[in-house]
Structure 1
Amino acid sequence: MGAQVSIGDFSIMTSLSRKALRHYHDIGILEPAHIDSHTGYRFYDTSQVDHAHIIRRFRSLGMSIPDIKALLSTEDAASRTEIITTHLEQMEAQLQQTRDTVGALRELLAPVRAPAHVELRHEPPLAVWSIGATIEIAEIDSWFEATMRTLSDAVETAADVGFSAVLGGVYDRALFTESLGTATLFVPAPQFAAIPEGVRAEVLPQADFAVLTHIGTHEGIDRSYGALGTYANEHLISAQGPIREHYIGGPPSDPTKFTATEICWPIFSTTPPPE
């Protein structure tokens, strides 16, 4: 057994909305570890993260609920392999391109491991230029790429220098838990530059984070979210603020081609305030 977490934290750790989690509870494939008898609030155990990832990934690939139930209920390795193999063969018959998903599906058979390195970081207030919108989670990939290009171009033009600052993002929890929320991309505000049209100047408040660096593109980043959320809830005190990301390694000519993402999970400060 791990730590019990709220449905909101579990939603972020697994990329499953509250609605989906309630549905999977109702049909009996992912039941909460505990339900408060007074409030009705659902709580999940961090040991359930792997099952949630399996459910979400296989549902996105069209596996039926009965097959997922069978996959999760059996302890027989041969039976689990047969269920997975049958579904992969069906996918390959439907679309050749689904062969690219085999590696991701194999990864789901391994449990989420504690991250090799989590950094505890205090981020002071930061003056930024930003572009934000209220979007649905299904739109986030196209919005992300277009907005990142718009913001980087605006800063490079306004500052009249080569663009080299690290871009970041701030994401409301509702974007994860309700599949609809506010997303904001930002960059540290250049000095002595006029604010471009369509860009907002604001100050990000100070906050404390547990930080895990996800290497590569956003492919498989849900596993890093699961690992970091597990660590934050088992070793620290998870806070309810927005999630922050920093995008590392993107060349000035194309900042969308970053090579790593710092995931910043909000926590309560563990250091005493200065006297």
Structure 2
Amino acid sequence: MGARVSIGDFAVMTSLSRKALRHYHDLGILEPAHVDSHTGYRFYDTSQVDHAHIIRRFRSLGMSIPDIKALLSTEDAAARTEIITTHLEQMEEQLQRTRETVGALRELLSPVDVPAHVEVRHAPALAVWSVSAVIDVSEIDSWFAATMNTLCDAATAVTEAPPAFALGGLYDRSLFLESRGMATLFVPVPRSARPPEGVRADVLPQAEFAVLTHPGGHEGIDRSYAALGRYVNENLISHQGPIREHYQGSPTDPTTFTSTEICWPIFSTTAPPA
């Protein structure tokens, strides 16, 4: 035991305010050594200073009260290490998210660049297997992953090779405008092939596109959409049909695509090739 001190002196010694000390008393993580039954004054012991410093330091690092309480209530060194390590990992994840947010905000401060290369492409009619659904934008990632697996399994059974180079998607304008609309994933297959249950045989009609290749998956793809849309509307004639995407790379994980072709439909002013 050390010396008994007033709450005022203890606040100076620990850099914890009267309000904070009362709050930690109510939570049961830093109780006074003595409370005068007549005046209600709180008194602390100098031996509690280190305890108070630990609480203040971990609170400044964002550790939750329950974790601090668990940390202070155990004598098990391994348990303490696990609590601190878990909090450190959470801080590192938050730091990474903050860095990504800062990077995205910095990008917004710079103007959208006109793409270095936009290809005008005539796409002939294409026989595909497809899966479609009306979805909310918030559901698109989980729907995308499940549907991609379904299509890849079905196409591999027919072609006996992973069809990563041929996977694509169609997205109605309502998905962008109303946050809900029709989404379709497709993979080209021979016209004679019969689709399995849950997969539809379809033919995509011929169309004209302005095509921009976005490196990687969907990270930062909004900037590429903006650049392509600006180019189309300033130099071509935009068509209000669905946006098409072609995925290069992994057939099952959109985060590992090497590139994504964005195909913006346009009105053609030239005859399609023979």
Q: Which residue of 1 aligns with 2:25?
A: none
Structure 1 unaligned spans of 5+: 1-91
Count residues in correspondence: 181
TM-score by length of 2: 0.61
Task: Tell me the residue number matched to 1:114.
Answer: 114
Post-superposition offset of 1:167? 0.3
1:158-216 per-position Cα deviation (integer Å, ceiling 9, x unaligned)? x1512235100001100100111000000002355331111000111111000000001
C-alpha distance in 2 between matches for 1:133 and 1:199? 12
* Mapping 1:1-275, distance limit 5 Å: 95-101=94-100, 102-157=102-157, 159=158, 161-164=160-163, 165-190=165-190, 192-250=192-250, 254=252, 256=254, 257-272=256-271
Q: Is the 8 A contact 2:120 2:208 kept in 1?
A: yes
- Contact 1:134–1:182 (CA under 8 A) maintained in structure 2: yes
Once the two structures are superposed, residues 26-75 of structure 1 have per-residue CA deviations (whole angstroms, 9 ceiling, x without a partner) of xxxxxxxxxxxxxxxxxxxxxxxxxxxxxxxxxxxxxxxxxxxxxxxxxx
DSSP-derived class of the 1:108 partner: helix
Question: Unpaired runs of 5+ in structure 2?
Answer: 1-90
Query: 1:211 & 1:223 partners in 2: Cα distance?
Result: 14
Amino acid at match of 2:98: R
CA distance in 1, matches of 2:237, 2:215: 25
Task: Tell me, yes or no, if the aligned pair for 2:211 and 2:264 is still in contact at 8 Å.
Answer: yes
How far residue 255 of structure 1 moved from its aligned partner, in angstroms, is: 5.6
Give, in whole Å, the separation in 2 of the partners of 1:273 and 1:135.
34
Asked if the contact 1:155/1:190 (under 8 Å) is kept, the reply is no
CA apart distance, 1:98:
2.5
Comparing 105-114 and 191-200, the one that deviates more: 191-200
Q: Is the Cα contact below 8 Å between 1:149 and 1:255 reproduced in 2?
A: no
Change (3 A) 1:224 1:273: closer
Q: Secondary structure at 1:237's aligned position in 2?
A: coil
Query: Partner amino acid for 1:208?
Result: E
SS of corresponding position for 2:114: coil
**Structure 1, residues 98-135: CA drift from partner, whole Å, max 9, x if none?**
22322222111110010010000011111100001000
What's the CA shift for 1:247? 0.3
* Structure-2 change in CA distance of 1:265 and 1:151 (3 Å): same
Write the distance in 1 (CA, Å) between the matches of 2:122 and 2:140: 27
| Bigger Rg, which one | 2
RMSD: 2.3
User: TM-score normalized by structure 1?
Assistant: 0.61
Letter in 1 for 2:97: T
